[in-house]
Chain A
Amino acid sequence: MPLYNRLKEQRARLGINQTDLGKLCGVSRQTISLIERGDYSPSVALALKLAQVCQTTVENIFWLEDEG
């Protein structure tokens, strides 16, 4: 089931790069890049961490295709 996201927009809103977001969430820059490109679906824990760092909800960052 394809998972879409607007992580890049959220990151731009915070004004941080992939490396910094990765450090704040405890993952590598490459993992952030994979998530942004939709090539990797993060675990629930990482999705929650990303939402916490971006000061928003998980649903604001990730959604499934049929919800679009």
Chain B
Amino acid sequence: MSEAKKMNTYLKYGLILGGCVILGGTIGFWAAGAREGLFSLSQIAAALLHLIRTYLLPEFLLLLVLDILIGELTLKKLSQLAKASEKAEEEESDRLDNEAEKISAWGSSMIAVIDFFSIVILSTAYSMEYIESVVRYSGGIILLVSFFLFILLHGYQGYWGVRLVKLEQKYNPDRKGDPASRKFTEQWVESCDEAEKELIYQSAYASYLLLSKTAPIISMIALFAHLIWNTGILAVILTSLIYLLMTMTYTKNCLQKRRKKGIR
């Protein structure tokens, strides 16, 4: 047992060392290259920006197709599992429920990744200066269709979310909440039993811990990027604001809950 632990520690150390070597090498390569004038980071960024902007329409089309494929496959599989779980014996039902949880998590994560890329891609063309220049030279039809696809993509994601909730409510009528309501999350959590609530609260706390560790790092990256490449202070302000908002909300809620429970 202790031998296995030793091996794990060495492996972990080796991985950390390997990661540091790769990170250091990459930074060194870019720094040396930029210093020697072999390439300019601003030129690379401009080329990347141009590439993304040129293929805006196929990029959004690809994301939309992927989104619909993943969304429909996830819902179909979840529906099949829910039907099978209703008829299954208790142990088999547990296995099917676990599988459904995994598929639901996978579908939601994939859709979140597509959401992230769609916003990053949109941001490359979402500036009045760029839009006006495109309209002036080519009429801007492709750009307009691309923006329409972006709206369609997000419209589908909202529709998918509603269908996911309705599917869960169909097979588990105890689950309450109107997905179109602003109070949906509160209504949903309220309808969960104590074990499900514990799971939600533990997951929420794990998310808080991760964000409280990563938010300051992201702020520092934005700060250094501004120092070296003059990327602007907005990113620094926004990431710092997220950290501030998160910490203040957590602290305020802790105090409120303690007061409510009469803890002094």
Contacts and interface: CB of A to CB of B under 8 A. Distances in A.
B36 interface: no
Contacts of A46: 194
Interface stretch (B60-68, B90-98, B155-163, B241-249): B90-98
A12 to B, nearest CB: 11
B194 A31 contact: yes
Contacts of B194: 27, 31, 42-43, 46
B190 interface: no
Given A28-B172, A30-B97, A17 B90 contact: yes
Given A28-B172, A30-B97, A40 B195 contact: yes
A2 interface: no
Nearest to A17: B90
B174 A29 contact: no
What interface size band does chain A fall in?
10 to 19
Interface in A1-36: 17-18, 26-31, 33-35
A27 B195 contact: yes
Contacts of B198: 40
B3 interface: no
A27 B197 CA distance: 11
B135 to A, nearest CB: 55
B129 interface: no
B193 A31 contact: yes
Contacts of B93: 29, 33
Nearest to A29: B93
Nearest to A35: B195
A34 B98 CA distance: 12
A31 B90 contact: no
Nearest to A8: B90
26 contacts: A17-B90, A18-B90, A27-B193, A27-B194, A27-B195, A28-B172, A28-B193, A28-B195, A28-B196, A29-B90, A30-B94, A30-B97, A30-B195, A30-B196, A31-B193, A31-B194, A31-B195, A31-B196, A33-B90, A33-B93, A33-B94, A34-B195, A40-B198, A42-B194, A43-B194, A46-B194
Interface of A: 17-18, 26-31, 33-35, 40, 42-43, 46
Given A28-B196, A31-B194, 10 more contacts: A28-B193, A29-B90, A30-B196, A31-B193, A33-B93, A33-B94, A40-B198, A42-B194, A43-B194, A46-B194
Interface of B: 90, 93-94, 97, 172, 174, 193-196, 198
